[in-house]
């Protein structure tokens, strides 16, 4: 024990065992508080998956300055949001969609809105978004902000191009998606702890 004490003094390690124990207790408590949320993220599509993706994107953009990575996650977050809403509200999946569950009037509006001659078997982001909007009684149109952000995302190196995404575009996309995924209770549960701050 005396050797350990001397070694700590020699190395300049400045914590006592009690402070380490207190810190470990606090870290354990914070982790336990997040376990119910984390349990819902595994296994099937849920609003918790969507929020977790949003919070991961937020960390990449706001904390780490990894704008392309963050925007790629935001794109997936929007996709998951519409997939979740279609599944939760209408029991529709975007892979092998069962069009017979969709009212005929909505199918006709969908075809017209997407400029299609026949109904697709699967729905990509834009088609899932259109169907979600139609089923929700909204007029399917894209805001200029969303369209601009998608163009920047598509030109990024993590999508189809070579252009890096800047901080301004990434922050705008984060704000847009954050306001779209309006789930305050779930988002509070998803706040990621930073162990270094404890």
Q: Is 87 part of any domain? A: yes
Query: Is residue 31 situated within a structural domain?
Result: yes
Looking at every residue in the chain, the average pLDDT score rounds to: 81
Alpha-carbon radius of gyration of the chain: 23
Kindly state the DSSP code that residue 13 receives in the 8-state scheme. -
Whether the per-residue pLDDT at 77 is higher than 90: the answer is yes
CA distance 101 to 90: 8
**Least confidently predicted of 108-117, 126-135, 136-145:** 136-145
Structural tokens at position 183:
């789930």
The predicted pLDDT at position 188 comes to 53
pLDDT at position 139: 84
Query: Rounded distance, CA 96 to CA 105, Å?
Result: 20
Based on the number of CB atoms within 10 Å of its own CB, is 50 exposed (0-12), middle (13-18) or buried (19 or more)?
buried
Q: What is the pLDDT of residue 93?
A: 96
Region of poorest pLDDT, from 68-77, 101-110, 145-154, 187-196: 187-196
Number of domains in the chain: 1
Domain span holding position 189: 16-197
> Taking the complete model, does pTM exceed 0.85, yes or no?
no
Task: Tell whether 4 is covered by a domain.
Answer: no
Asked if the structure places residue 7 within a domain, the reply is no
- Compute the average pLDDT of residues 20-25: 66
Q: What is the mean pLDDT of residues 176-189?
A: 72
Q: Is position 136 within any domain? A: yes
- 178 exposure class (CB count in 10 Å sphere: 0-12, 13-18, 19+): middle
Tell me the average pLDDT across 110-125.
96
Domain assignment of residue 114, yes or no: yes
In a domain, 2, yes or no: no
| Pair 102, 127: CB distance under 8 Å | no
Q: Is 76 or 186 the better-scoring residue by pLDDT?
A: 76
What is the C-alpha separation between 53 and 42, in angstroms, rounded? 12
Asked if residue 1 is part of any domain, the answer here is no
Average pLDDT over residues 37-54: 75
């Amino acid at each position: 024990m005396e050797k350990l004490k001397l070694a700590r003094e020699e190395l300049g390690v400045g914590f006592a065992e009690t402070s380490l124990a207190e810190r470990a207790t606090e870290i354990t408590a914070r982790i336990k508080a997040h376990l119910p949320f984390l349990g819902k993220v595994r296994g099937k599509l849920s609003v918790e998956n969507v929020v977790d993706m949003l919070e991961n994107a937020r960390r990449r953009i706001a904390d780490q300055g990894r704008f392309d990575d963050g925007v790629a996650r935001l794109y997936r977050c929007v996709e998951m949001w519409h997939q979740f809403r279609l599944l939760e509200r209408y029991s529709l999946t975007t892979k092998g969609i069962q069009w017979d569950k969709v009212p005929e009037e909505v199918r006709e509006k969908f075809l017209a809105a997407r400029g299609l001659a026949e109904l697709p078997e699967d729905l990509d982001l834009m088609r899932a978004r259109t169907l979600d909007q139609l089923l929700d009684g909204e007029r399917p149109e894209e805001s200029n902000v969303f369209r601009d952000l998608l163009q920047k995302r598509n030109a990024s190196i993590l999508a189809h191009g070579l252009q890096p995404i800047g901080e301004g575009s990434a922050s705008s996309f984060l704000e847009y998606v954050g306001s779209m995924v309006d789930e305050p209770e779930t988002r509070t549960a998803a706040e990621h702890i930073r162990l270094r701050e404890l």
